[in-house]
Structure 1
Amino acid sequence: MSPDPKCTAIANALKNSGLSYAQLASQVGVTEQRVIDICTGNAKPTDVEFSSLGKALGLTDVPHTGTHATT
């Protein structure tokens, strides 16, 4: 199973931001491991998590419904 493209946007934005997992986690109030799990596709973010992560990374146009397709 590969990560959902919408959540891959978080990983790509993080990479481009220069922030570490820990720094992003601190900004949004989740654990570093939670951010790692979301960015690697091992966990599905809640809508609130996705919005918080996206806002911290400057993402404004990535829709997210909280559901992810698996193939």
Structure 2
Amino acid sequence: MAPNPQCAALAAAKDKKGLSYAQIAEKIGQSEAHVVDVCTGKIQPTQDEFNALARALDITQSPPSDSAHKTK
């Protein structure tokens, strides 16, 4: 079973779109492991990765300014 995203909005968007981490990874041109690490907060995404993830999941609201939403 894949781990849940650290961000509640990300988890909801992932569930709403019905995408697996592998499918998200394919959409943004990253490995599945990298997407899991970003979504679970293990690593911080670059701004470009963050934006690509938001586009892939149709997230249009700005993220909150907290530690779970920092980019490199």
Larger mean CA deviation between 49-58 and 15-24 belongs to 15-24
Q: Which runs of 5+ in 1 are unaligned?
A: 1-6
Q: CA deviation at 1:14?
A: 1.3
**Contact preservation (8 Å) 2:54, 2:60:** yes
Q: In 2, Cα distance between the equivalents of 1:40 and 1:51? A: 16
* TM-score with structure 1 setting the length: 0.72
Call closer, same or farther: CA 1:12–1:44 in 2, change over 3 Å. Answer: farther
Q: Which amino acid aligns with 1:50?
A: F
Q: Which amino acid aligns with 1:26?
A: E
Partner of 2:31: 31
Flag as ranges the 4+ runs of structure 1 deviating above 4 A. none
Partner of 1:66: 71
Q: Which runs of 5+ in 2 are unaligned?
A: 1-5, 64-68
**Pairwise CA RMSD:** 1.9
* TM-score with structure 2 setting the length: 0.71
What is the aligned length? 61
Compare relative contact order (CA 8 Å, sep 6+) and give the higher one, 1 or 2.
Answer: 1
Q: In 2, Cα distance between the equivalents of 1:60 and 1:45? A: 17
**Contact preservation (8 Å) 2:44, 2:70:** no
SS in 2 for 1:24: helix
**Contact preservation (8 Å) 1:11, 1:40:** no
